[in-house]
Structure 1
Amino acid sequence: MELEKLSGDDTEGMMPNGNHVDELGPEKVTLEDGYDGPEEAETEREEFLPHKSDGKAQPQFTDFEGKTSFGMSVFNLSNAIMGSGILGLAYAMSNTGIIMFLILLTFIAILSAYSIHLLLKSAGVVGIRAYEQLGKRAFGKPGKVLAAAIICMHNIGAMSSYLFIVKYELPLVIQTFLGKTGNTGEWYINGNYLIIIVSVTIILPLALMKQLGYLGYTSGFSLTCMVFFLFSVIYKKFNIPCPLESEGNATHYLNDTAAMTCEAKTFTYNSQTVYTIPILAFAFVCHPEVLPIYTELRSATKKRMQNVANISILAMFVMYLLTALFGYLTFYGNVEAELLHTYSKVDPLDTLILCVRLAVLVAVTLTVPVVLFPIRRAIQQLLFPRKEFHWVRHILIAITLLIIVNLLVIFVPNIRDIFGIIGATSAPSLIFILPGSFYVRIVPNEREPLRSRPKIQAICFAVVGVIFMVMSTSFIISDWVTGEKNSGGGH
């Protein structure tokens, strides 16, 4: 039987952490070409899924037996969603107001869950477990190239945001340990030098590993650090007065207007409001990791994986909302684009914030190699699809990527610009445009005609993504050109 042939060696391309290094599943023998129509889809489905005549739903990935529990899958996807974007949410709320932020956050969370629904249903039709391969199945080789390029762009943005945190927070940690305040000019508290040192001494050696599956053990620690960060933000809300008063070594920077009116706004709009939706979209992107987690889920079904996604998104929704709310209610209009950096303006020697900084620094530093790995895999698939593993190529790609990311972090002046431009381009592509397009192309017309409600919804979903991407990018570029920067957004 064709299924037996496929199941014997299909896991060769799988990394211990669920990532894939080559074309996977039944696509190895059936998906060399692009999508040619519904007949091909139905034929292919019969080839790799066991045929049942009783009308029951077909299992999704019969060539791989998942062993990960439901709870662990929720944990893994939550960790995939959680990232440095959480540090920019209080800034986003300060530029929208509490009610508008809540509406936008709810809107993005619901759309993210629907987007995962489209991905899972598309994957269930053709049994593909990698985002890039769905692109190939839907649009042929150009679709694979486009999906891989977008994933690379998004992950480079994510790596940059992590190193931005290192750039701005590590010098403050070193200063605190040395008992210094202010920038005294030493090289070892220069953020640009520090990110290079961290990249060379910590990130690069980990990124050179042939297999990075063991780094999955840092997921629990990373998520715990972010929970600690949330509790610290809530605690500090009740310990930092507004307006701030001059005490000891504290440096106060509130402008006169904010100092006079420590009041929360429900709705507001300014030149920085255009960054809010991109920041929120960036914070919810987890789509390249959904299919590998789905594959490894025990007793995997679309409904079971959708429940994993819904619980994960709901958990992150609550965490994001609380972080943004209490961060905003602490500093109001003076919250900065990177929340932790704002606390240093209050008391650089605060022990609790120092512990939070250390925890977040360790978490994001150890996450960078994991984020780098899918980019390298995508580059190898695009440029060297038939080549065997080679250490020189493996090392050169990692070094090149780290050089690019370091240059971005050194020369881009603000983490908000990373969140903004990546959130306005790759995030809507991964959340809106590609899942909707894949669904329309992959699901056979015999099952769901083009004019059926699900496909019309998917088309509208993709169109909304295009509109959002064009408008957000245009607003951000216009903001750059006019130079209308909010004073609270700088570093």
Structure 2
Amino acid sequence: MEKTGMELQKLSNGLHYEADGSVEGGVPPEEEKFLQHKDGGSKRPQFTDFEGKTSFGMSVFNLSNAIMGSGILGLSYAMSNTGIVLFLILLTCIACLSCYSVHLLLHSAGVVGIRAYEQLGFRAFGHPGKILAAVIITLHNIGAMSSYLFIVKYELPLVIQTFLGQTSTSEEWFMNGNYLIIIVTVCVILPLAMMKHLGYLGYTSGFSLSCMVFFLSVVIYKKFNIACPKELFGNFSMNADMPEDTCAVKYFTINQETAYTIPILAFAFVCHPEVLPIYTELSNPSKKRMQRIGNVSILGMFIMYFFTGIFGYLTFYEKTEAELLHTYSKVDALDTLILCVRLAVLVAVTLTVPVVLFPIRRALLQLLFPGKPFHWLRHIAIAVCLLFAVNLLVILVPNIRDIFGITGATTAPTLIFILPGLFYIRIVPTSQEPMTSRPKIQAACFTTLGFIFMIMSLTFIVIDWITGEKRSHGGH
């Protein structure tokens, strides 16, 4: 339940609510930025220093764009290792858990009148909690930005090569992926990252989502235009019979890859660092309205994920590769439609980078400049430094899959499960909900589930390192 008008008025008059519900005089600097003080109490106190103007639809676009990552290219491979029914069960469970996680965040934010992930950490655990939340958001989103730029680095030269009709990689500068990501960053990503508010990116997020809808449409179309692809199963003559189970649909599959797939599906719904910034800029904000935005966004991505997974799987069956577009290229490397899809995916991931950058900048501002008013120089300087660091990382490190595997296995479960559950337990006063109440017990179980996901993910990565097997799964 959100704060009543009386509780909000108390906050605006300088009363500080602790996690246990106690009141303390004076508002610390961390909260000055989030509570707008009105003379005489004639107006309803605001959470931020500006009036939110982002519409419901634009907020859905931004949150959906934050949810959708490069991992959509690996969902068909995930289905090939789980089977259709088991994949649907897992995807449904994880989507529902993500909605519940958003509910925990919004409820915690409503109790204390704060709409910043880092400030919830401060309210729950003091400065260590604030620092931990900021560091986790920064690490996770830098990993996500880097994964998107890696796609640009390796896919854009291939697209240019195909457009120019070349069959081999040229030595020209415009075929060098390192130069291309710098050009894309300076010309496209940086101008969008310099926007003052996240809501302004609603239009680019909508266009990015339309590119992914085009990708899904082509995946569905190709299912009905590619018979059982013999190119992937070996050399069979037209009259030779292939094994009966070669293109057989599997509904339940358990193998070595199945357990490894579960965390990947969970990571596909990571959007939680963006939830509160989007909530801050929402017009006519309320917990119920923001929860609907979260539910609509997650439902939309659930539908896209499932259809992408099933139609990709039904095209290539057990020969589905971790990167779906690469599998199409093996059937027809010069397919014009697949070339267009590659270009659409490049546009989509490029336009997602600025949306992912906003929570990092907000976390750094909360960490380094708490309580400071908005300043353009700080706003732009942080964006430039972040993009410079990410570009440098992508250029200098040839293979950072293991680095991002570790950060992804630790930060994603923390952001989805562990921190929202802990915030709820610590922030909601025991006078409202005792520790033995059902909501608190559910939050505790939710947090425990996050630790299980983390341990499981790290275990699989260590096993990969020990055995020397490197799996190229898609990730968020």
Partner of 1:148: 134
Pick from 340, 347, 351: which aligns with 2:336?
351
CA distance in 1, matches of 2:183, 2:120: 38
Q: Quote the offset at 1:483 in angstroms.
A: 1.5
Pick from 144, 148, 155: which aligns with 1:158?
144
Q: Which sits farther off after the overlay, 59-68 or 358-367? A: 59-68
Pick from 83, 104, 118: which aligns with 1:97?
83
Please list, as runs of the form range in 1=range in 2, the aligned pairs for 1:142-221 lying within 5 A after superposition.
Answer: 142-183=128-169, 188-204=174-190, 206-207=192-193, 214-221=200-207
Partner of 2:327: 342
Q: Which amino acid aligns with 1:465?
A: G
Pick from 424, 428, 447: which aligns with 1:439?
424
CA distance in 1, matches of 2:123, 2:398: 37
Please list, as runs of the form range in 1=range in 2, the aligned pairs for 1:290-305 lying within 5 A after superposition.
Answer: 290-305=275-290
Q: Quote the offset at 1:137 in angstroms.
A: 0.9
Partner of 1:19: none
TM-score (structure 2 length as normaliser): 0.82
Matched, 1:280 2:265: yes
Q: Quote the offset at 1:40 in angstroms.
A: 2.9
8 Å contact kept, 2:263–2:453: no
Pick from 118, 141, 144: which aligns with 1:132?
118
Pick from 276, 296, 308: which aligns with 1:311?
296
CA distance in 1, matches of 2:102, 2:472: 37
Partner of 1:479: 464
CA distance in 2, matches of 1:445, 1:60: 26
Partner of 1:106: 92
CA distance in 1, matches of 2:435, 2:451: 20
* 1:163–1:274 distance in 2 versus 1, CA, 3 Å: farther
Deviations 1:135-169 (A, max 9, x none): 11111111111111111111112102211221232
8 Å contact kept, 2:149–2:394: no
8 Å contact kept, 1:208–1:395: no
Partner of 2:363: 378
8 Å contact kept, 1:176–1:348: no
8 Å contact kept, 1:271–1:485: no
Partner of 1:40: 23
Q: Quote the offset at 1:227 in angstroms.
A: 0.7
CA distance in 1, matches of 2:404, 2:95: 17
Deviations 1:108-153 (A, max 9, x none): 1010011111111111111111111111111111111111111111
8 Å contact kept, 2:270–2:416: yes
Q: Which amino acid aligns with 1:302?
A: K
8 Å contact kept, 2:277–2:359: no
CA distance in 1, matches of 2:356, 2:199: 12
Matched, 1:429 2:414: yes
Q: Quote the offset at 1:291 in angstroms.
A: 2.1
Partner of 2:220: 234
SS of residue matched to 2:93? helix
Q: Quote the offset at 1:481 in angstroms.
A: 2.6
* 1:318–1:385 distance in 2 versus 1, CA, 3 Å: same
Deviations 1:368-398 (A, max 9, x none): 2332233233223323447774748953763
CA distance in 1, matches of 2:257, 2:218: 26
8 Å contact kept, 1:181–1:348: no
CA distance in 1, matches of 2:440, 2:36: 24
8 Å contact kept, 1:225–1:363: yes
Q: Quote the offset at 1:328 in angstroms.
A: 1.5
CA distance in 1, matches of 2:300, 2:382: 38
CA distance in 2, matches of 1:255, 1:195: 37
CA root-mean-square deviation? 3.8
Report % sequence identity: 69
Pick from 67, 83, 107: which aligns with 1:121?
107
8 Å contact kept, 2:145–2:353: yes
CA distance in 2, matches of 1:383, 1:107: 38
8 Å contact kept, 1:279–1:420: no
8 Å contact kept, 2:194–2:379: no
Partner of 1:53: none
Q: Quote the offset at 1:75 in angstroms.
A: 3.3
* 1:291–1:200 distance in 2 versus 1, CA, 3 Å: closer
Q: Which amino acid aligns with 1:477?
A: V
